Amino acid sequence: MRFLMTCMQFPTEPGRSYMTTELAQALVAAGHEVEVLLIDWDASPAETDGPCPDWNGVRVVRCTPRLVEGFGGLLRHASKFVLTGRHAGRLAREHFDLAGFDAFLAWTPALAFAPFAGAARRAGIPRRCLFIWDFFPDHHREIGRIPGGPPYWLARAWEQRLMDEFNVLLCTLPQNAEYLRRRFQVRPAQAVRVTPIWSDVAPVPEADRSAVRRRHGLPEHRPIVVFGGQLVEGRGFEQMLAAAAVGRDAGSPLTFLFVGDGRLAPMLQARARDNVLWRPAMPREAYLELLGACEAGMVATVPGVTSFTIPSKTLDYLRAGLPVVAAVEPGSDFAALLERYGVGRAVPFGDARGFFDAAQALAAGPCVRAAAQVCLNEAFHVRHAVAAVVGGAECGEARAAWATTPMRPRAATERRR
């Protein structure tokens, strides 16, 4: 099959990857052809767009954004969606033979490539798949990124119309498939599938933990729970820091480590004392090695939202063999999955004591490296995404991983390193 993919992230630099590049490589490895229209959302409008050097057998065409400056943030953001989408449509007509593709893959928000979606349908591309990782604009309004009222109503009506151009809608969780049917209009001809996020699932090679800790200036004999990623709003740092305070007051040796850069990095750096540590972002291989020198990983989703998410950093933690303490939405399928495979615990939002207790228990508990690999392979392998976009039956394997089953017991012989 020939696939045309449009996305906002497709890193091709050595040592970098993203779910879009991993899916493209998996499709190529399976014998398919892949071409990509990269809508480079964060690039400067002055940067060059057009064809890029082929990347690992994948043809890439870059589209830089277009927008109107000088009239306030609302107009700037609105114009960026409209004008960039029109620009993407023009580049698509110039550089791709749309009628020659068997499948079109895209990610929300569909507004970012609005004219392109209709063009794919009119060109007769038979399989048009939309990955819905965030429900735009509902999620963005709930976390304060776009205002309510007319701007939200217009964005939602437009996004709904664009969703109608696709015949396969792919949600990350069973609960999100239900949310889609409940909150949006789904036509009878549209198939709704569950395809969780994916990653390289190869285990991180084990390294000398003491040497890694010394290299990063970490305490050699204290248990460490780690958060790694963008240090920005909506990551649950208030709850994590409150849990650290609970541990400090109790005299616990448990140490809370934050790794990364972002708007909140100065705040976390200023709070880094006693049992709280901060380290700046580092190359990915060094970061994965650092994870392997810790005892557990931390995640939190945004409270007050009505859909459900899978924090992508979870997959790195599992690759490193770490159990995960998660502050997530009540009743989340993601939380149930962690507990079912025996690789994590969920706690309510705002429960600092519960977060600390869970983190301490996981850090002192048995090794979950083997269980983490089973979880990754059964629930988060890229083959599930390949099966979903190709249209095969294997995506049923992913659905089975999210079905309600008894919790997997840890192997009695496993012990923490």
pLDDT at 415: 41
pLDDT at 7: 92
Summarised one tens digit per residue, pLDDT across range 266-298 is 999 999 999 999 999 998 899 999 999 999 999
Q: In terms of CATH architecture, what is 209-376?
A: 3-Layer(aba) Sandwich (3.40)
**At 127, phi and psi to the nearest 5?**
-115, 115
d(CA 235, CA 292): 22
pLDDT band, residue 400 (cuts 50/70/90): low
**For the chain, which residues make up each domain, given as ranges?**
2-166, 209-376
pLDDT band, residue 89 (cuts 50/70/90): confident
Summarised one tens digit per residue, pLDDT across range 46-78 is 888 888 888 989 999 998 988 887 777 667 777
For the sheet with 103-107, list strands across it. 50-51, 59-63, 33-39, 2-7, 103-107, 127-132, 168-171, 191-194
Domain 2-166 bears CATH identifier 1.10.3110: no
pLDDT at 411 over 60: no
d(CA 357, CA 123): 56
- Fold identical between 2-166 and 209-376? yes
Token readout for 166 is 């696709």
- Sequence-separated contacts (24+) of 387-391 with Cβ below 8 Å: 388/129, 388/168, 388/170, 388/193, 388/195, 389/3, 389/23, 389/27, 389/103, 389/105, 389/127, 389/129, 389/168, 389/170, 390/1, 390/27, 390/30, 390/32, 390/103, 391/127, 391/168
Half-sphere exposure (Cβ direction) of 196: Cα atoms closer than 13 Å: 29
Share of the chain above pLDDT 70, in %: 93
- Min mean pLDDT across 39-43, 115-119, 218-222, 412-416 is at 412-416
Summarised one tens digit per residue, pLDDT across range 167-199 is 999 999 999 999 999 999 999 999 999 999 998
Share in percent of the chain as helix, strand, coil (round to 5):
40, 15, 45
Please return the burial class of 69, using the count of CB atoms within 10 Å of its CB with bins 0-12, 13-18 and 19+.
Answer: exposed
Q: How does the average pLDDT of the chain come out, rounded?
A: 88
Bridge partners (DSSP) listed for residue 104: 4, 128
Mean pLDDT, rounded, for 151-177: 91
SS3 358: helix
Bridge partners (DSSP) listed for residue 3: 34, 103
Residue found by looking up tokens 């040497």 in the block: 211
